[in-house]
């Protein structure tokens, strides 16, 4: 069964994200446990978490992903930022456990002068500090790149997995891949990019995809999402991606914009239209 959903809001209670997901026609999804723009601990009440679990089960919505704070930087050489990042991630995996959410998604961050190798070392050792509950997995997300950000190359992902003792898996973001220089605009390009991922990382550890088109051309390192099939990746690229054998059973989470009269519901429908039986 095709698993596709959107990033939904927990405003008014985490369980509202489930009801919003159902309205969009989604059957999996992603949330923030708090505002991603500030250092803040999740504040999820027991009854709220129980209701989230119940509604997810009743509507058969899942898996769910918690996206970590945008402030988290696992690659940083700065001790204070590292401490805040590890603490934030620990709170996220605990919130995931409470909600029955399977995954916590995080970007590696920027090495800010530590160098690529040093930044990847920092990220791996930061992940080692986490006490991740059984049933929760940390996903490292592919990045669009720019400046000293890491995670835009497949070998960055593989290196962190090799260096950490944490059992991590991965989330690919199609817009980020495209921005980082991995072409997805044609069936041949999709085959080539996914073959490269399989060679370096392997599909066995691919747990989720953020399915977004890109407003900018391949290799620009510009991270701005477009509606599925209406950006630079385009309809043929998106069709080839969602129908690729390695992707067909992977949950697809939309982070598409709400603009031009199109919302998450439109994008969920578009994915269903592109998906071949």
Confidence at residue 37, expressed as pLDDT on a 0 to 100 scale: 93
Q: What is the C-alpha separation between 158 and 55, in angstroms, rounded?
A: 36
**Stretch 166-193: mean pLDDT:** 98
pTM recorded for the entire structure: 0.97
* Reported CATH class of domain 4-274: alpha beta
Q: Which long-range contacts (CB under 8 A, 24 or more apart) does 229-235 make?
A: 229/270, 229/274, 231/175, 232/178, 232/185, 233/174, 233/175, 233/178, 233/184, 233/185, 234/185, 235/274
Q: Is pLDDT above 90 for 36? A: yes
Tens of pLDDT along 180-203? 999 999 999 999 999 999 999 999
Residue extents of the structural domains in the chain? 4-274
Q: Is pLDDT above 80 for 277? A: no
Question: Is the peptide bond prior to 63 cis by the omega test (within 30 degrees of 0)?
Answer: yes
User: How many other CB atoms are there within 10 angstroms of residue 12's CB atom?
Assistant: 10
């Amino acid at each position: 069964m095709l698993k596709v959903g959107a990033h939904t809001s927990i405003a008014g209670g985490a369980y509202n994200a489930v009801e919003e997901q159902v309205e969009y026609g989604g059957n999996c999804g992603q949330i923030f446990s708090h505002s991603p723009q500030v250092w803040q601990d999740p504040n999820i009440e027991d009854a709220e978490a129980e209701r989230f679990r119940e509604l997810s089960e009743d509507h058969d919505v899942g898996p769910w992903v918690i996206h970590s704070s945008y402030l988290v930087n696992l690659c940083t050489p700065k001790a204070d930022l590292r401490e805040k990042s590890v603490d934030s991630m620990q709170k996220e995996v605990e919130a995931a456990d409470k909600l029955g959410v399977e995954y916590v998604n995080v970007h590696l961050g920027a090495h800010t002068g530590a160098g690529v190798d040093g930044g990847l070392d920092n990220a791996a050792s930061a992940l080692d500090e986490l006490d991740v509950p059984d049933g929760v997995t940390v996903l490292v997300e592919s990045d669009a790149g720019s400046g000293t950000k890491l995670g835009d190359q497949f070998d960055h992902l593989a290196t962190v997995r090799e260096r950490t003792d944490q059992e991590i898996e991965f989330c690919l973001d199609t817009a980020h891949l495209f921005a980082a220089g991995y072409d997805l605009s044609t069936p041949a390009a999709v085959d080539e990019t996914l073959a490269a991922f399989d060679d370096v990382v392997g599909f066995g550890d691919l747990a989720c995809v953020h399915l977004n088109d890109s407003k900018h051309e391949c290799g620009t390192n510009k991270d701005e999402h477009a509606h599925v099939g209406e950006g630079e990746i385009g309809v043929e690229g998106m069709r080839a991606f969602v129908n690729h054998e390695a992707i067909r059973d992977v949950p697809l989470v939309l982070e598409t914009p709400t603009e031009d009269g199109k919302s998450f519901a439109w994008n969920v429908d578009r994915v269903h239209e592109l998906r071949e039986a």
